[in-house]
Structure 1
Amino acid sequence: LQEILQSRGKGVPEYRLLKQTGPDHDRQFTVGAYVTGSLSGTGMGKSKKKAGQEAAKAVLDKLGEDS
């Protein structure tokens, strides 16, 4: 995602934790991927890393790129 955005002059994505839900032993994280300051995709996962990966995939889908 970073390479594609940079090649299009969009800079690098920023990932922010939007929400975490569930008990400590079964957390669910929601992460937003921001491109040029705007929320461009969100992802959910059992870890912040997985949620970030899903958010990146959502942005790639929006851009029409394969992940």
Structure 2
Amino acid sequence: MKHPSTWCLSKDEVMAARNESLNMVDFSEKSEAFLWGLQRLTANKMLEKKAYFKSILKKESEQQNS
């Protein structure tokens, strides 16, 4: 399980999303691709956070049941 410090987007992840968007031709497509890339990365971070808390809750409930 990843440590909570990995939940924030790193500069490298933001730059990768930006570079991905630079391949687009017009400005509106570029900005849309950049925002979409950031949303995708952020959603992945939220899933990691959810899984982390679920694992903690599961461990706690197992300890209480034993």
User: Is the pair's TM-score, using the shorter chain for normalization, greater than 0.5?
Assistant: no
- In the superposition, the TM-score normalised over structure 1's length comes to 0.36
**Higher radius of gyration, 1 or 2:** 2
